[in-house]
Structure 1
Amino acid sequence: MSTSPDRSSRPTGRWDHVSHTVLFLEIASSDGPGGTESDRQVARAPLHRVVRSAFADSGIPWATCRHDERYDGVLVAIPPSIATSAIVDRLIPCLETGIRRYNREAAPVRIQLRAALHVGPVIATADGLTGPAIAAASSMLNSRELVNHQLKTGADLALTVSPQVYETVIRHASGYADPTRYREIHSEGSAAWLCAAE
């Protein structure tokens, strides 16, 4: 299954410098026999099934998003017509449920995911998605505190969000976006918020 957009039918102009919600997902570990590169390749196919199912279950149309394959994951730019609150309240819980279900159902390779959520301008080129918002999400995804949290808790999905997402969506929210689930962390001098509930 290809997760790459049909760039021939999607002009890039309508994407340039428009703020999107950026969801960056990465396979943090894939624990099979030895956790080999072969195991990681095996893990990529169910990752994409989980992601596509989560979008369907949350009611957020996958076809409206721009998505790029990355080495160990997938980068998704969700258009501004879809509220970031819907992504936090509906999509993220569906992702968490999907990866837990996969790991529970006698999966040959257990998968752990890291996720970063940010909002900002996205630029689409013939080579894929770029822009400061994507660079920021990538930095959040590789935060040492996020990595250590997942190692400590063994969480199937470890989530970090940018200050913008925290302030505009989470701070006054309830349910899955309950702000008491989050704590502030720092990565390379920049702040982010880690969903620290185990």
Structure 2
Amino acid sequence: MAGTGRHAVHRTVVLVDVERFSAPGRTLRHQLGTRAGLYEVVGQALAAAGVPWDACHHEDRGDGLFVLVPPEYPKAPLVEVLPEALARAVRGHNATSPGVAGVRLRLAVHAVEVAFDEHGVTSSSLTAAFRLVDAPPLKKALADSPGVLAMIVSRVVFDEVVRHCATLDPATFRPVQAAAKEFREPAWIALPDHPFPPDPAVLDRQSVDSATPDPASGGQAVPSASATGDAGVTGVSGSRAVTITGGVRGSGAGITIGAATGDHFTLGAPPPPPVPEQPHNPR
């Protein structure tokens, strides 16, 4: 893009991927129709959010596409307006398309720094957006939903945008760990056209860094104890909870907390049992 040189610039990335694009029932004719419909519905949804298609950089990904929205367009409509508009447009497309040409979509929204060159665009944060849209919890959320759209937003988008939205209920999002290849980051999932029931408790957690996906809950996160580097650790909940707000350091097999109170848990392996005393040899 002209004027950016080799310097990274800020963009909001909207990444859309078609569920089961290469399913056996989709012939080439169906795939071409699906791709044409994808561009149409994404363009409609962006317009509803106040973002002109021509103002954005976009690239094709075969079974999906990504759009880089310039910073002069606010992020809030991209999570408040665009997802519902996209779901409506998809339902309209499906109503006039053969069954196998119908689509369901995964949507990722992330705030990124990217660098442009003569071949396109690149950055590690853009790669993270692709990992988000491929995250197993997002795929499962869409597979389990009767709707046509599942959305995942990065932690920065949730914390800086979703939490402060006036027309979007952040309690309908669910925290997950998005893990794909070398990528592992906290993120938040929503189902715009078939929302999760509001759960204000999910907003009490300041961060989902220590959350791990629970397969039994469809990829939703559950708290877990962890201790990595200087990060704080929250290990248990309830009236006798223990929270470490500073770094955990030291040596040995493990650290036991709360032993004096009778309520305790151990970070790391517990110490080995004492060696039994050997009988006295009279010689």
TM superposition score category, shorter chain reference: 0.7 to 0.9
Asked which structure has the greater RCO (Cα within 8 Å, sep 6+), the reply is 1
Change (3 A) 1:132 1:31: closer
Offset, 1:67: 0.5
Contact map agreement 1:54 1:95 (CA 8 A) in 2 = yes
Contact map agreement 2:178 2:186 (CA 8 A) in 1 = yes
Change (3 A) 1:12 1:141: farther
Offset, 1:12: 5.5
Greater helix content: 1
Aligned to 1:191: 186
Superposed CA offset, 1:118-159 (max 9, x none): 002011222222112211110000110000111111431110
Worse overlay, 31-40 or 117-126: 31-40
Cα RMSD (Å): 2.1
TM-score with structure 2 setting the length:
0.61
The sequence identity of aligned pairs, in percent, is 28
Offset, 1:14: 6.3
Offset, 1:16: 3.8
Offset, 1:172: 2.9
- The answer to whether the aligner puts 1:91 opposite 2:82 as a matched pair is yes
Superposed CA offset, 1:102-125 (max 9, x none): 12x231221011111000201122
Aligned to 1:54: 45
- 2:110 and 2:49 mapped to 1: Cα distance? 19
Contact map agreement 1:16 1:121 (CA 8 A) in 2 = no
The count of residues paired between Structure 1 and Structure 2 equals 187
Larger Rg over CA atoms: 2
Could you tell me which of 93, 97, 117 is aligned with 1:107? Answer: 97
Aligned to 2:16: 25
The one-letter amino acid of 2:138's match is L
- 1:93 and 1:16 mapped to 2: Cα distance? 34
Offset, 1:57: 2.9
Aligned to 1:120: 112
Aligned to 1:133: 125
TM-score with structure 1 setting the length:
0.85
